[in-house]
């Protein structure tokens, strides 16, 4: 399939390579063009619009709502270049409000829009082990299923409205952030109780048997918050977005609110660039540990 | 080993049977004596003190602080009957304050005290798959290791002070309650967003790969809150106890506080006897779902 | 002074009338022109730009960020019409981010910008008893002091940056919302305790001796939430804005977060148009009261 | 009236003196007898029981549940000495659970029990300006009304069950603690916004017109937390008690929960003996202010 791929950060690069390996014909765009050129087996375009010329689908993997707005809506943006009938598939973690805006914008231009956010870290992207969560027209999702299979290990259809996939992605990240908050509070209390954090982690691992708990728990026990796998400031962004969705839905989320305050405390203590598991430092600080 | 076993509820019965199978010589005590008589291969005593006569260790598996107080401190209680040098091993989920009281009480009588709370449901108790978390004198723990091996699948030593094991147990239950709260909020928001809860659970399972998430998530998706595996009112008790420990340690636990308020909302809506995963009903109710 | 006045809702109408009484020469603009025509002693303009022609100052009293954006930035907006050197004084409760945008926008056009939000209800606006909180260039504030004196009973300068006044206004409203939340929780608990709410209010009045407590407490005791003095949905907007400011400042505000969740619960139960003191209904509902 | 008065701390001493001035015949008891001897015009007893011999009423003003238990229930306690038909009036801030225990205990001995907690600081006790909140049998309250009038400026009857007065007292203190939390969060955010805290306080004073806001606000603006008017550790005790009452009533109080966590953070940072308004230091710390 002829595909435009936009956004070649750590996640996007792995996804693009897997699409190429699967035999698709890619044209790449990245703000700093060097990152696009590093990927072999694909053409490189100067603008989003140019990348989308002739494409059946444009897959974007950008940082946030703002980046999406710039790359999609500009004079030489995706919307300007994408042919009628072709689809924009947005894999970024954006707000549900932005997903609705994109849906309307592309519809106005007789283009299709799908949200297809992904769960997984860069290694998972490289290893084709992402969890892909598309939402939108059932027919479109079926048509592009080979693309989702090319980048991920499992695909789950969130619903018929694109923004529903973004709601699911934000709630999934909220589940992880909740685990981090729970770990942080338990570790702080137990450290003050003189219990070895490593011992508690062994017990939690025996209990939950989850690699996600094991990996993040280990980061906290070792206080290994740099380099960040996922920066705390991005975690804050995602909590803000899930709270926005909660407000749209009129659904109170007190735990999400508590996590937001936790992240702000960490931001006020120079942890923006640390891994988001460093919220454990904040809980320790509040308990008077140093 | 000659053992007194006190408290033959669903958990205690399974533990006692596994001790008998492992070749230990048990004398049983239960408030309603019928439950003790149902267990074959052991003697039955009329009072805690009588059960403890000649025992090397008395293992108690009671409901809460109050039950422990009654069974341990009464005229015909464990403390009155246990020989000097023998040990009381308390497996109940009690407060850290009560564990410290028991430590002092038994020390005064030249008896030993260990806390050895367990993680696991009745089936795990029956199947010898409990996670056992003893704390106290290292020497004593080593001596009684065969008992822990007889009832559980894994043993983790929490520390040299008995109450530390109770702190760990309470924090472990807090980790589970946190997961329930996170699930509840996410499900409420996503239901209002029109997303199929079962679909979200599939995604969470792909992400966390934890049987604990899978099992509790399934209960919530099916809204199968009765009969209770673990009653909400007992969950509230455990949250109250972890908050007491947090206060003793001067360690703020905002998520535990939010969970407490959640449980109170559920108590006010007649959910005391439902499974504690029914907190999802509370989150749904707050979001205006019926 | 020649003044353009934009936004003649309940608050704006009272303010405009007091400016006219003080001898100022007003040109009025309102989206629905009838409300402008009801005010005697002033000219009426067809567009914001026209109203601002020849004005030394344009005072706007609009609903929210969006309304301000429309009235200020449009082709025939305030910014298009206001002479160089003249000032836009914005009295609406807007976000600190929007205040910074307005500051830059007017500066680019060699116009001045002041934020001057006010505290008080429509009766206070009519009675010239508003509390006025201007911020911006000291020189400008001094120049326009007669205007602040014409509309209010007291003026407090918040700082030299316009957005600081908005931060103060949002924190002031947060103080009131906090009182409402405290009342709501106390009343719910005491109603379940069988205590007469009116009796508790008498005690609180004896304790705090504040007309704000007395007035809002009375609304809650009488459950008189309609018609709204200040609609709950507007209260939610203000809580959202104070949380945005808190995020800009990296300052955790757990109480503001709890209030946000409270307001969402109320929104989910059809209270958007009720007075914001109706949060007491939400606390009562959570306590199982009907 | 013949009265026993027990507990001559700062509050009790003022109350006792006002009872003497009103012409009542007092016998005093205090753990350290010197404080009793400092008060002129009254007899001094060696034990609570002795103080209560012949008394029509015993008024106690003690520190907490524990002190009440010691002074009431001991071999030579109030209950042992008070004549049948006489009443124990407890003015301490105790738990609703303890009030119910005292009610039952005195009833068993054919004595009467009233709770009559008071609002006000030591100066108010000295100046006969306390707010007195009795609850219990209407007949008894009427009988002892002269005593309430002797110690306070206003009396409000909370209900016919003694513990209801304690619920009211705890909720009243919760209202003050809520104000402190709101102030703390607003001041932290505004300090980071560069706004002068003193200026914000002026505005809050203009808005609320409450001496309670004015006094506590001033303490926070001046960061004058020592010597404590009311120690933070006592504030924590009261929050714990209101949360216990909330649990008895199955009434969620998220703001009270947030305040509890705030107080724990302050306890972990050596603020136990500072005034409870020093929670503002905690909010500032979380915002990264020093």
Yes or no, beta carbons of B247 and D240 under 8 Å apart: yes
Q: Which residues pair with B25 in a beta bridge?
A: B2
C119 φ/ψ angles, rounded to the nearest 5 degrees = -105, 140
Which of A123, A144, A160 is at the close of a domain? A160
Residue of chain D with shortest Cα separation from A265: D286
Which residue of chain D is at minimal alpha-carbon distance from C200? D168
Residues of C near A (Cβ–Cβ under 8 Å) read 236, 240, 243, 246-247, 250-254, 257-258, 260-262, 264-265, 267-268
| pLDDT value, residue B176 | 98
pLDDT digit string, tens, across residues B165-219? 999 999 999 999 999 999 999 999 999 999 999 999 999 999 999 999 999 999 9
Residues of D in contact with B271 (CB under 8 A): none
> Quick one: pLDDT band at residue B26, thresholds 50, 70, 90?
very high
pLDDT for the residue numbered A9: 95
Residue tagged active-site, from D128, D169, D237, D281: D169
Identify the chains in contact with B, defined as 3+ C-beta pairs within 8 A.
Answer: A, C, D
My answer on whether C69 and C209 are in the same domain is: no
What is the Cα–Cα distance from B113 to C71, expressed in whole angstroms?
75
B25 and B103: one domain?
Answer: yes
Separation of first and last alpha carbons in chain A: 55
Shared domain check, B151 and B24: yes
A23 and A134 part of one domain: yes
Burial class from Cβ neighbours inside 10 Å (0-12, 13-18, 19+) for residue B185 reads: buried
Share of chain A above pLDDT 70, in %: 100
A178 in the same domain as A153: no
- C85 in the Ramachandran plot: left (φ > 0), alpha (ψ -120 to 50) or beta? left
Question: One digit per residue, pLDDT tens: chain C, 290 residues?
Answer: 999 999 999 999 999 999 999 999 999 999 999 999 999 999 999 999 999 999 999 999 999 999 999 999 989 999 999 999 999 999 999 999 999 999 999 999 999 999 999 999 999 999 999 999 999 999 999 999 999 999 999 999 999 999 999 999 999 999 999 999 999 999 999 999 999 999 999 999 999 999 999 999 999 999 999 999 999 999 999 999 999 999 999 999 999 999 999 999 999 999 999 999 999 999 999 999 98
Give pLDDT < 70 ranges for chain D. none
The shortest C-alpha distance from D45 to chain C (Å) reads 35
Indicate the pairing of strand C130-132 with strand C118-119: antiparallel
Q: Which of D254, D256, D263, D279 to mutate to test the interface with C (most CBs of C within 10 A)?
A: D254
Residue C26 burial (10 A CB sphere; 0-12, 13-18, 19+): buried
* C-alpha to C-alpha distance for B28 and B42, rounded to whole angstroms: 7
Whole-structure pTM value? 0.97
Pairing type for strands A112-115 and A87-90 reads parallel
Which of C132, C130, C146 minimizes the C-alpha distance to C57?
A: C146
Minimum CA–CA partner of A201 in chain B = B172
Q: What is the pLDDT of residue D193?
A: 98
- Residues C85, C69 share a domain: yes
Residue of A nearest to B171 (CA): A186
Residue B118 and residue B91 in contact, taking contact as beta carbons nearer than 8 Å: yes
Q: Kindly list the residues from chain B whose CB atom is less than 8 angstroms away from the CB atom of residue A205.
A: none
3-class SS shares of chain D: helix, strand, coil, % to 5 = 55, 15, 30
* Same domain assignment for residues C11 and C146: yes
Residue D128 main-chain phi, psi, to 5 deg: 60, 35
Q: pLDDT at position D290, please?
A: 84
Chains that touch D (3 or more CB pairs under 8 A): A, B, C
Instruction: Compute the average pLDDT of residues B263-281.
Output: 98
User: Are residues B183 and B116 part of one domain?
Assistant: no
Q: Is B267 close to D258, i.e. CB distance below 8 A?
A: no
How does DSSP classify residue D79?
H
Do the Cβ atoms of A254 and B261 come within 8 Å?
yes
Q: How far is A192 from chain B (nearest CA, A)?
A: 6
Determine which of A95, A148, A157, A185 to mutate to test the interface with B (most B C-beta atoms within 10 Å): A185
CATH number of the domain that residue C278 is part of = 1.10.1040.10
Average pLDDT value for residue range A17-43 = 97
What number of C-beta contacts closer than 8 Å exist between A and C?
Answer: 47
Tell me the C-alpha to C-alpha distance, in Å, between residue A270 and each of A69, A282, C80, D3.
29, 11, 42, 62
- Residue that finishes a domain, picked among D135, D160, D185: D160
Q: Does the annotation mark C169 as catalytic?
A: yes
CA–CA gap between residue D48 and residue D30 (Å, rounded): 8
Q: What are the DSSP calls for B163-181, one per residue?
A: HHHHHHHHHHHHHHHHHHH
Chain B residues with CB inside 8 Å of C287's CB? 265, 268
What spatial distance separates the first Cα and last Cα of chain D, rounded to whole Å?
A: 55
SS3 B8: coil
Quick one: CA dihedral A272, A274, A275, A279, positive or negative? negative
**D220-236 residue pLDDT tens:** 999 999 999 999 999 99
Quick check: D250 and B260 CB within 8 A?
Answer: no
Q: Which of C252, C264, C268 sits opposite A261 (nearest CB)?
A: C252
What is the rounded distance in angstroms from the CA atom of residue D255 to the CA atom of residue A63?
36
> Which residues from B are below 8 Å from D when comparing CB atoms?
236, 240, 243, 246-247, 250-254, 257-258, 260-262, 264-265, 267-268
Interface size B-C, in CB pairs within 8 Å, comes to 14
Predicted ipTM > 0.85: yes
Beta bridge partners of C89: C59, C114
Residues D177 and D151 in one domain: no
Whether B192 and B148 share a structural domain = no
Nearest CA in chain B to C288: B268
Q: Mind listing the pLDDT tens digit for each residue in D236-270?
A: 999 999 999 999 999 999 999 999 999 999 999 99
> How close is the nearest chain B Cα to the Cα of C190, in Å?
14
**Residues of chain B contacting C288 with CB distance shorter than 8 Å:** 268-269
**Which residues have a Cβ under 8 Å from the Cβ of B142 and sit 6 or more positions away?**
none
Q: Final residue of a domain: which of A139, A160, A181?
A: A160
C45 vs C33: CA distance, rounded Å:
8
Chain A residues within 8 angstroms (CB to CB) of chain C: 236, 240, 243, 246-247, 250-254, 257-258, 260-262, 264-265, 267-268
Chain D residue whose CA is closest to C206 = D131
**C-alpha closest to that of B163 among A200, A201, A195:** A195
Read off the pLDDT of residues B116-139 as tens digits, 9 standing for 90 and up. 999 999 999 999 999 999 999 999
**In a shared domain, residues A6 and A124:** yes
Are the CB atoms for D202 and C156 separated by under 8 Å? yes
Please tell me the predicted confidence (pLDDT) of residue D213.
Answer: 98
Closest Cβ–Cβ partner in B254, B269, B287 for C254: B254
Residue D27 φ/ψ, nearest 5 degrees: -115, 125
**C240/A247 touch (CB, cutoff 8 Å), yes or no:** yes
Calculate how close chain C gets to A250, using CA atoms only, in Å.
5
Give the chain A residue nearest C262 (alpha carbons).
A252
Q: What is chain D's length?
A: 290
Task: Taking the CA atoms of A128, A72, A166 and A66 in sequence, report the sign of the dihedral they define.
Answer: positive
Residues in chain C: 290
> Where does residue C194 fall: left (phi above 0), alpha (psi -120 to 50 degrees), or beta otherwise?
left
Cβ distance of D269 and A288 shorter than 8 Å: yes
Q: Report in angstroms the alpha-carbon separations of B52 from A135, B82, D93.
A: 64, 5, 43
Among D245, D248, D249, D250, the strongest candidate for a mutation testing the B interface, having the largest count of B CBs within 10 A, is: D250
Q: Give the distance from residue B53's alpha carbon to the nearest chain D alpha carbon, in angstroms.
A: 34
pLDDT at B253: 98
User: Do B190 and B81 share a structural domain?
Assistant: no
Chain B residues with CB under 8 Å of D253 CB are 261
Q: Which domain holds residue A82?
A: 2-160
Note the pLDDT of residue A46.
Answer: 96
Number of domains in chain C: 2
Q: In whole angstroms, give the CA distance from residue B188 to residue B105.
A: 48
- Selected catalytic residue, list B143, B169, B199, B237: B169
pLDDT at A207 over 90: yes
Instruction: Write the CA distances from A119 to A90, A169, A255, B210, C193, integer angstroms.
Output: 13, 7, 21, 16, 48
The reply to whether residue D265 touches residue A286, judged by beta carbons under 8 angstroms, is yes
pLDDT tens, position by position, A123-157: 999 999 999 999 999 999 999 999 999 999 999 99
Rounded to 5°, the CA angle C18-C21-C24 comes to 95
What's the 3-state SS for chain C?
A: CEEEEECCCHHHHHHHHHHHHCCCEEEEECCCHHHHHCCCCCEECCCHHHHHCCCCEEEECCCCHHHHHHHHHCCCCHHHHCCCCCEEEECCCCCHHHHHHHHHHHHHCCCEEEECCEECCHHHHHCCCEEECCECCHHHHHHCHHHHHHHEEEECCCECCHHHHHHHHHHHHHHHHHHHHHHHHHHHHHHHCCCCHHHHHHHHHHHHCCHHHHHHHHHHHHCCCCCCCCEHHHHHHHHHHHHHHHHHCCCCCHHHHHHHHHHHHHHCCCCCCCEHHHHHHHHHHHCCCC
Task: Give the closest-approach CA distance of C259 to chain B in angstroms.
Answer: 13
């Amino acid at each position: 399939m002829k595909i435009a791929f936009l956004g070649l950060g750590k996640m996007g690069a792995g996804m693009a390579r897997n699409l190429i390996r699967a035999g698709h014909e890619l044209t790449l765009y990245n703000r700093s063009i060097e990152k696009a050129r590093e990927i072999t087996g694909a053409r490189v375009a100067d603008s989003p619009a140019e990348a989308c010329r002739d494409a059946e689908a444009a897959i974007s993997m950008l940082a946030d709502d703002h980046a999406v707005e710039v790359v999609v809506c500009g004079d030489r943006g995706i919307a300007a270049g994408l042919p009628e009938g072709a689809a924009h598939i947005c894999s970024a973690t954006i707000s549900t409000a932005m997903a609705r805006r994109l849906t309307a914008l592309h519809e106005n231009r007789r283009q299709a829009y799908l949200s297809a956010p992904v769960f997984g870290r860069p290694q998972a992207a490289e290893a084709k082990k992402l969890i892909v969560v598309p939402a939108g027209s059932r027919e479109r999702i079926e048509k592009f299923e080979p693309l989702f299979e090319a980048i991920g290990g499992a695909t789950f259809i969130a619903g018929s409205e694109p923004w529903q996939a973004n709601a699911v992605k934000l709630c999934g990240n909220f589940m992880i952030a909740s685990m981090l908050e729970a770990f942080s509070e338990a570790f702080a209390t137990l450290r003050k109780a003189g219990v070895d954090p490593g011992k508690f982690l062994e017990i939690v691992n025996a209990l939950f048997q989850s690699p996600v708990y094991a990996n993040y728990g280990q980061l906290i026990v070792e206080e290994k918050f740099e380099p960040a796998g996922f920066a705390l400031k991005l975690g804050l962004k995602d909590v803000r977005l899930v709270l926005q969705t909660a407000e749209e839905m009129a659904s109170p989320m007190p735990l999400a609110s508590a996590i937001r305050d936790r992240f702000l405390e960490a931001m006020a203590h120079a942890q923006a660039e640390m891994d988001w598991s460093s919220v454990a430092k904040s809980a320790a600080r509040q308990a008077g540990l140093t």
